């Protein structure tokens, strides 16, 4: 019984994570600039009692939200994100006050330095995203309060915010490197290369972007 209450308490704490609005204008995080933004759902598992959503919808929504939140940083470095979606639940309508299922999105994240092609995190970063306390519907449940698209929007917003917070918690990764030239490449080109790498089903990153 104690373990059950502890699990419920942990669930509440996790679901209480609130993702603030993306600030206007460029962000600053050392020399961080988003390079490839590759989100894949090769082995994604749909949880029980979940609404249906395609792999393309999952990856597209998360890719767009990561781009919106992290694409505004404009340091002189270049860092590639590789994201693997492992599982999800988009809560179906439950029974108010009795059974109110929760939505969740589970993923792993890796970060690579373009200059060295080295992975910066020793182990994949595990992220579990809930809809957040601002979007909670504890009485009637998320499945009654909103549709699948809105649930997914809430989940990817939380996930992208957690990725941003993880990067901010590791500022040593983004210490400016004296004498390193800035890679001149635009976001449209980077996004096109990311999409091509996903279609090809190759490695997590499509290779380093050379300095001009």
51-100 per-position pLDDT tens digit: 899 999 999 999 999 999 999 999 999 999 999 999 999 987 544 434 46
Backbone angles phi, psi at 118, to 5 degrees: -90, 145
**Comparing 111 with 26, which gets the higher pLDDT?**
111
CATH 3.30.160 fits 31-173+184-200, yes or no: yes
* pTM (2 d.p.): 0.82
The pLDDT, as a whole number, for residue 199 is 82
Q: Burial, 52: exposed, middle or buried (Cβ in 10 Å; 0-12, 13-18, 19+)?
A: exposed
* Residue ranges per structural domain of the chain: 31-173+184-200
């Amino acid at each position: 019984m104690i373990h059950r209450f502890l699990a419920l308490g942990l669930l509440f704490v996790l679901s209480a994570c609130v993702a603030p609005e993306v600030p206007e204008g460029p962000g600053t995080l050392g020399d961080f600039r988003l390079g490839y933004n590759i989100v894949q759902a090769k082995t994604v598992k749909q949880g029980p009692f979940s609404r249906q959503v395609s792999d393309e919808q999952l990856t597209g929504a998360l890719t767009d939200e990561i781009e919106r939140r992290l694409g505004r940083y404009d340091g002189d470095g270049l860092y590639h994100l590789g994201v693997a979606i492992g599982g999800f639940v988009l809560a179906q309508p439950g029974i108010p006050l009795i059974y109110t299922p929760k939505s969740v999105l589970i993923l792993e994240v890796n970060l690579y330095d373009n200059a060295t092609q080295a992975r910066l995190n020793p182990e994949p970063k595990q992220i579990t995203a809930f809809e957040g306390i601002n979007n909670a519907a504890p009485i009637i449940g998320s499945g009654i309060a909103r549709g699948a698209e809105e649930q997914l929007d809430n989940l990817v917003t939380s996930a992208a915010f957690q990725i941003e917070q993880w990067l901010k918690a590791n500022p040593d990764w983004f210490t400016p490197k004296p004498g390193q030239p800035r890679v001149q490449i635009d976001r449209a080109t980077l996004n096109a290369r990311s999409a091509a790498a996903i279609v090809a089903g190759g490695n997590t990153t499509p290779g380093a972007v050379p300095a001009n």
